[in-house]
Structure 1
Amino acid sequence: MAEKTRVCSVDELTDGAGKEFAVAGRVIAIFRIGDEVHAIDGLCPHAGGPIGTGTLRRGVVTCPWHGWQFDVRTGQHCLSSSIQTTVYDASVENGDVYITLPE
C-alpha cells in the first residue's frame, strides 16, 4: 500500500492558487481551493510547462506556457476527453498537506 508523503504546511498555500513542490523526484503542483487541496503532476503534458504556476479559476488551471487547461480535481483536460494529467490523492492533516504517490 502506498504511503502518504508530507508536502508542505497548508499555510504555505494561497487560496485560489497553486504552488510547485519537488516530491520523491517528481514535480507536484498543489492547489488550494478554500479548505480543499488538490495535487496534480506539476509538468504540463503538452510541453512540460510549470502548471503549478498557472492561473486557477473555478478549479481549472491554465498552463502559463501554451494555455492548456486542466481541472485540478480530476486532471481532465478541458477541451479533449482523451487528455488527462496525473492526479494524486491529497489531504490536510493537522495543518499539513499530504499526498499519496503510487508505488
Structure 2
Amino acid sequence: MEVLAGSAGDFEDGRRRVLEVGGRPVVVFRVGERYYALSNTCLHSGGPVGEGVLIPRVEAVVRADGTVAGEVFSETCMHIVCPWHGWEYDIDTGRAAGDPRFALRRYETRTEGDHVYVIAAHKA
C-alpha cells in the first residue's frame, strides 16, 4: 500500500509533512533531491522528531597518536534532532547517534511525476 505524501513543491525550503502510514505518524521531508520518511515518534520520550532540526553529523578529527584534534561536520551524513531532548537520528539508517541499537522506522518513498508517495511497509 502507498500513501500520497504530497507534491514535490510541498517539500521545498525544508518543509515537512506528517501523515499516517499504517496507523503510525510518519514525517516526510527532502534533502537535496532525495525524499525521506521516518517514524515521527522519538524512541526516547515520544517527541515529534519531524519538528527537529536537520544537521550534519559531528565527527571527531583524530590525530595519528589517537588524540582528538577537534570536530567537524560530516559532508555526507545528516541527522534529524528530536526537539524535546536532543536525540539525534541518522536520516539514512534511522539509527540513534548515541546508541545505534535504537532506530526509527524507515519507509521507502517513490516519486511519480510531481507526486511523492510513502510505501506502507517499513524498511528494516
Coordinate RMSD, CA, aligned: 1.8
Distance 2:17 2:52 in 1: 9
Q: TM-score, normalised by structure 2?
A: 0.73
Return the letter of the residue paired with 1:63: C
Aligned pairs (5 A) from 1:1-103: 3-16=1-14, 18-58=16-56, 59-102=78-121
Q: How many pairs were matched up?
A: 101
Quote the offset at 1:15 in angstroms.
4.2
- TM-score normalised according to structure 1 size: 0.86
Unaligned runs of 5+ in 2: 57-77
Q: How far apart are the structure 1 equivalents of 2:48 and 2:30?
A: 17
Structure number with higher relative contact order (C-alpha < 8 Å, ≥ 6 residues apart)? 1
Runs of at least 5 residues in structure 1 that lack an aligned partner in the other structure: none
Q: Considering only CA atoms, is the larger Rg found in Structure 1 or Structure 2?
A: 2
